């Protein structure tokens, strides 16, 4: 199996990427910041006086800056109607002074002026927006470019700084002494007059932006750590590139390829010739045609002429590469580009950092590898364009199903810093590691939009993820059942099949929570319907499963069958809710599972609201409160479209081209679906939604779960699962998982066992299989394997109180659930690149076994902490004696087929429920066992979050509690301090009986206690000197009440 590469573009086959990459258009762009345009929009009065007192005479740049500070009259550009959140605190004009642009470089009347706006945030974030100067009548940029602030940004938590000031010349001079040698713009005898500095107040210390005037660039600093240098540098490579809108007529002289040559390249009639006159009756997911005679289209290969033309484009002189600026063709699909070239790009450098992470989703390592320069690991930049990539390959930078243009740098000296490139259009990112200077360079290239860059200063992972939560929103706390095991297959054939599978799980006492139905459950791929022959009693079926504590999930995709008798299509058509073709007059017609299909415009609020209404129990006949939803194919996937998606020039209901909102579509679809599951609630219901999506963008964490798509039943796909999921978590997308067992193919017993073990320690835990795969329910691999698979599932269920607590912490703080090692150990550099082991929260270290026949595994343990084997409760001996340095200790551990290496951090307390149940619903009132792992000081702390696990009452009525456990053996006490929400305050005594602690297991105890007691009774306990484990039985305390247990040693 291999991806059909002819279906998907490379950078060299993408005109805007060619123009940006490798300096193809560098000769056209040279930006200068116009000092006469500078404005500080909010300045306390005393700041002006203080800065002016340190100023040189009123000449040059300082004179211009001071006038702006004092509010000198200056023309204000028209406000951008799309921008949301805190307003700018600093504005200026950028001039493209390159002679090749025919611009008047001496005047701000230049035809290539750009507006720079800086937004300072109270949490330290800086937003840098660079746009055309909007409002110039009768120009292509009279109106603002469309942006998606309203659809993505979490404006409720974005708070402006309350203090901003210009830096004085002396302050600027001090900064210049700390600029690293990487600053390519530094010239001999440079002084403060070449710069403008802005300082703004932040919760964690003031931040500084230092702007270089000519050529334009800037550096970003933490004021409390100037000597370490800037944490981010913008424009040091002078790769900023902003294609302003212009009329096609004005650019005709620039066109490289003649009409005759272009026609030759496009190959008129290619669509007809390609199919040999055969009648097309459909398309498969790989985009290949299905013919009336039953045959299928063969994969396309690049012919010699195409290859020669492509290489010519790559090698030609930069100033000549104008092909594809006004029209572009790929694989017979034409993009009309009515607005011409509108691409933007820029470079960011991360000084003294060799470790970059993020940019999900790619089937590659979590640590981003070099794509450019000498010794590059990849030849193609990381591509970010949501696509349905059939049979994707590994160790690739090819685009996949979802993307988050968020990159994180981490280093020992610079700490953690993030860069969010707020742009949902097709984007490429080059990574270049500079080994000599230890800097990392990045080059961002997008087809359209504006330069809208958020810089998140950290300085810790905790601080940076709190900033990112302010920016794009917080993880939605899911219902508890969704953290259990999900059983899925394309497809469970009928109700009889569903019952047989469910009853077998019951018979074997195998825990699971959700049974899933794929597309075949519908009436001819018409979503919100049921096949009456196969599923004649859907509500009764759901109720039977719910009687045993199980839910169901059905698939609902965004493509709607074009059938006038189908009520969904009929209503959407009559209300005008579909995406339009490029004329804006007809509904777009694409091919997907139902055949000819239309697509709801989820960028439109009315369309999203209408879609949400379709989930009401009255409209979605056969649905019940125990039915939830799976959104697939929402990249969007269009089998007969370019790159198996929509044409870029088709329009939404506001007339905005698809190219502008492509990467948002899947997220907005999931958002509308989730809203539908909330709206369907009856007055006596308050049920949280669960929606799984394949496509995603920044902010998807607010709407549900994501999975990694159509993986394969191969060891290599199991191995890549953790790096892919960690990369998503770097992008704050935490509720994620990979299909257990692999979607395509047939895993053997060993691979299935290892995948079930690994999956049980990932946030989303689902087994899934293709319809051509053999049945692979847990009992299909024999009794011996069944025992192993059930053991893995039971370990998951025992840890559900811990998982639920970590989800609560993620929602509250923004920190990822599944963490790379550096997030908890920021000074241990040897751990930074590891992605074959990870942490769940801060307290569990997991090292999945991903190789065939493996019986021993090497684990890297941070030496700062003790680590306890979760199976034996024994401390790892190598971690007990360390030098006190931040280092990692590599230990080879046993990992035979029955074992996945998992370790609890010393100093932590983890709650479990140990009674075997078949679903989360049946576990609700089960008692807790607390697992205490003592640190080197014989102490430990931990939390347990509690609510009803189902409803929104934790948020709306404050029906919740947070227990904070602590153990201090040196002082002889174990205690609980519980914070009970206002909604539970009056009923906490009644609820306490259902939240009891039945056992406390303490690991790492040096000697046996003489007695253990509460205020009212002596407690029973067992102590093993050999294992150093203390077990306190039946302490008769509740997690919902404050208590203390006294230990006498």
Whole-Å CA distances, 661 to 343, 424, 425, 577, 934:
14, 6, 6, 16, 51
User: Residue 712: what are its φ and ψ, rounded to 5°?
Assistant: -120, 155
Rounded Cα gap, residues 742 and 713, in angstroms: 4
Query: Taking the mean position of all CA atoms in its chain, how far away is CA 494?
Result: 35
The two structure tokens encoding residue 124: 């330290």
Do 232 and 213 contact (CB within 8 A), yes or no? Answer: no
- Annotated catalytic, 452? no
Catalytic residue among 165, 495, 513, 635: 635
What is the spatial distance between Cα 520 and Cα 527, in angstroms, rounded to a whole number?
A: 10
- Nearest CA to 405 out of 414, 394, 418 is that of 418
Q: Among 232, 216, 226, which residue's Cα sits nearest to residue 126?
A: 232
Residue 784's CB is within 10 A of a number of other CB atoms, namely 10
CA proximity to 557, closest of 673, 641, 644:
673
Instruction: Give 688's DSSP letter.
Output: P
Active-site residue (options: 710, 835, 843, 887) = 710
Tell me whether residue 635 is one of the annotated catalytic residues: yes
Is residue 512 a contact partner of residue 498, using CB atoms and an 8 Å limit?
A: no
Whole-number Å distance between alpha carbons of 517 and 502: 13
d(C-alpha 219, C-alpha 303), whole Å: 47
The enclosing H or E element of 779 equals none
> Helix (H, G, I), strand (E, B), or coil: what is residue 499?
helix
Report the 10 Å Cβ neighbour count for 533: 8
- In sequence order, what DSSP letters do the residues of 897-928 get, joined into one string? TT---EEEETTEEEEE--S--SSGGGGTTPPE
Minimal CA–CA distance to 197: which of 178, 230, 171, 162? 171
CA torsion 498-502-505-508 (nearest 10°) is: -110
Residue 262 · residue 210 · CB < 8 Å: no
Q: Which two tokens stand for residue 409?
A: 């740098």
Q: Give yes or no for a cis peptide into 23 (omega within 30° of 0).
A: no
The Cα–Cα gap between 188 and 193 comes to 13
The DSSP result for 986-1003, as a single string, is GGHHHHHGGGEEEEEEEE
Q: Report whether 517 contacts 527 (CB < 8 A).
A: no
- The answer to whether the CB of 261 falls within 8 A of the CB of 308 is no
SS (H, E, C) 610-656: HHHHCCCCCCCCCCCCCEEEEECCCCCCCCCCHHHCCCCCCECCCCC
Catalytic residue among 587, 632, 675, 836: 632
Q: Count CA within 13 A, CB hemisphere, residue 494.
A: 6
Residues carrying an active site annotation:
632, 635, 710
């Amino acid at each position: 199996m291999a991806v059909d590469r002819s279906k998907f573009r490379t950078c060299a086959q993408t005109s805007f990427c060619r123009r940006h990459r490798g300096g193809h258009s560098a000769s056209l762009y040279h930006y200068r910041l116009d000092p006469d345009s500078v404005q500080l929009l909010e300045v306390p009065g005393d700041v002006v006086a203080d800065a002016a007192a340190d100023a040189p005479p009123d000449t040059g740049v300082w004179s211009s800056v001071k006038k702006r500070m004092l509010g000198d009259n200056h023309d204000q550009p028209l406000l951008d109607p799309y921008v949301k959140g805190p307003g700018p605190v600093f504005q200026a004009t950028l001039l493209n002074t390159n002679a090749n642009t025919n611009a008047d470089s001496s005047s701000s009347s230049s035809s290539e002026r750009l507006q720079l706006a800086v937004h300072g945030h109270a949490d330290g974030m800086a937003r840098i927006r660079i746009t055309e100067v909007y409002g110039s009548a009768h120009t292509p940029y009279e109106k603002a470019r469309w942006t998606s602030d309203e659809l993505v940004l979490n404006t409720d938590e974005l708070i402006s700084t309350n203090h901003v000031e210009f830096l004085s010349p002396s302050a600027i001079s001090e900064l210049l002494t700390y600029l690293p040698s990487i600053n390519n713009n530094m010239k001999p005898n440079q002084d403060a007059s070449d710069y403008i500095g802005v300082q703004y107040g932040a919760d964690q210390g003031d931040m500084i932006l230092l702007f270089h005037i000519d050529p334009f660039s800037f550096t970003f600093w933490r004021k409390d750590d100037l000597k370490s240098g800037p944490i981010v540098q913008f424009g040091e490579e002078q790769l900023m590139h902003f294609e302003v809108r212009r009329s096609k007529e004005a650019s005709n002289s620039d066109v490289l390829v003649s009409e005759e040559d272009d026609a030759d390249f496009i190959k008129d009639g290619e669509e007809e010739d390609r199919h040999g006159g055969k009648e097309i009756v459909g398309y498969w997911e790989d985009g290949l045609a299905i013919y009336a005679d039953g045959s299928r289209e063969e994969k396309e290969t690049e012919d010699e002429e195409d290859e020669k033309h492509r290489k010519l484009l790559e090698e030609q002189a930069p100033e000549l590469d104008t092909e594809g600026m006004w029209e572009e063709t790929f694989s017979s699909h034409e993009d009309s580009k009515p607005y011409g070239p509108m691409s933007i790009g820029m470079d960011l450098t991360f000084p003294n950092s060799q470790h970059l992470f993020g940019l999900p989703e790619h089937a590659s390592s979590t640590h981003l590898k070099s794509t450019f320069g000498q010794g590059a690991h990849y030849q193609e930049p990381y591509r970010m364009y949501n696509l349905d990539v059939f049979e994707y390959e590994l160790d690739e930078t090819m685009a996949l199903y979802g993307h988050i243009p968020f990159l994180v740098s981490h280093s020992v000296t610079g700490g953690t810093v993030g860069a969010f490139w707020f742009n949902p259009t097709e984007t490429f990112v080059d990574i270049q590691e500079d080994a000599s200077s230890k800097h990392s360079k990045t080059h961002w290239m997008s087809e359209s939009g504006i330069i809208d860059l958020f810089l998140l200063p950290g300085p810790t992972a905790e601080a940076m993820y709190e900033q990112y939560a302010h920016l794009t929103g917080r993880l939605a706390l899911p219902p508890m059942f969704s953290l259990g095991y999900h059983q899925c297959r394309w497809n469970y054939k009928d109700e009889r099949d569903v019952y047989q599978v469910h009853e077998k799980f019951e018979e074997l006492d195998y825990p699971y929570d959700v049974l899933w139905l794929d597309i075949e459950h519908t009436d001819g791929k018409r979503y919100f319907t049921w096949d009456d022959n196969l599923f004649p009693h859907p509500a009764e079926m759901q109720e039977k499963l719910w009687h045993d504590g199980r839910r169901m999930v059905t698939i609902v995709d965004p493509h709607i069958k074009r059938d006038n008798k189908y009520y969904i299509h009929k209503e959407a058509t009559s209300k005008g809710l579909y995406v339009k073709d490029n004329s804006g007059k007809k509904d777009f017609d694409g091919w997907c599972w139902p055949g000819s299909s239309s697509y709801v415009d989820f960028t439109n609020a009315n369309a999203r609201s209408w879609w949400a209404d379709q989930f009401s129990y009255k409209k979605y006949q056969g649905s019940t409160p125990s039915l939830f939803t799976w959104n697939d194919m929402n990249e969007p996937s269009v089998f007969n479209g370019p790159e198996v998606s929509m044409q870029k020039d088709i329009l939404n209901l506001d007339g905005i081209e698809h190219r502008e909102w492509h990467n948002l579509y899947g997220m907005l679809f999931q958002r509308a679906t989730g809203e539908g599951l909330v709206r369907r609630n009856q007055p006596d219901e308050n049920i949280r939604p669960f929606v799984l999506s394949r496509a995603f963008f920044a902010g998807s964490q607010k709407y549900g779960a994501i999975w990694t798509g159509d993986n394969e039943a191969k060891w290599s796909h199991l191995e890549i699962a953790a790096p892919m999921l960690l990369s998503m978590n770097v992008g704050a997308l935490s509720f994620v998982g990979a299909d257990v067992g692999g979607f395509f193919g047939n895993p053997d017993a060993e691979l299935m066992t290892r995948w079930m073990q690994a999956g049980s320690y990932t946030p989303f835990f689902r087994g899934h299989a293709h319809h051509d795969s053999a049945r692979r329910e847990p009992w299909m691999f024999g009794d011996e394997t069944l025992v192993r698979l059930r053991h893995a599932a039971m370990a998951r269920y025992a840890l559900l109180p811990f998982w639920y607590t970590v989800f609560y912490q993620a929602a509250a703080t923004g920190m990822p659930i599944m963490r790379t090692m550096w997030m908890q150990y920021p000074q241990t550099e040897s751990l930074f690149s590891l992605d074959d082991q990870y942490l769940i929260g801060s307290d569990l270290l997991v090292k999945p076994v991903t190789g065939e026949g493996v019986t021993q595994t090497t684990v890297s343990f941070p030496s700062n902490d003790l680590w306890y084997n979760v199976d034996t409760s024994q401390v790892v001996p190598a971690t007990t004696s360390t030098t006190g340095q931040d280092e990692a200790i590599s230990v080879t551990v046993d990992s035979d087929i029955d074992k996945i290496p998992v370790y609890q951090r010393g100093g932590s307390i983890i709650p479990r429920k140990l009674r075997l149940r078949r679903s989360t619903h049946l576990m609700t009132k089960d008692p807790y066992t607390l697992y205490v792992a003592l640190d080197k000081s014989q102490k430990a702390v931990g939390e347990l979050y509690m609510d009803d696990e189902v409803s929104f009452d934790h948020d709306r009525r404050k029906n919740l509690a947070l227990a904070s456990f602590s153990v201090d053996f040196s002082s002889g006490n174990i205690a609980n301090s519980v914070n009970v929400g206002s909604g539970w305050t009056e009923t906490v005594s009644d609820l306490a009986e259902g939240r009891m602690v039945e056992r406390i297991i303490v690991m790492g105890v040096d000697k046996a206690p003489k007695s253990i007691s509460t205020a009212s009774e002596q407690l029973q306990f067992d102590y093993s000197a050999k294992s150093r484990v203390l077990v306190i039985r039946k302490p008769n305390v509740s997690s919902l009440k404050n208590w203390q247990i006294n230990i006498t040693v």
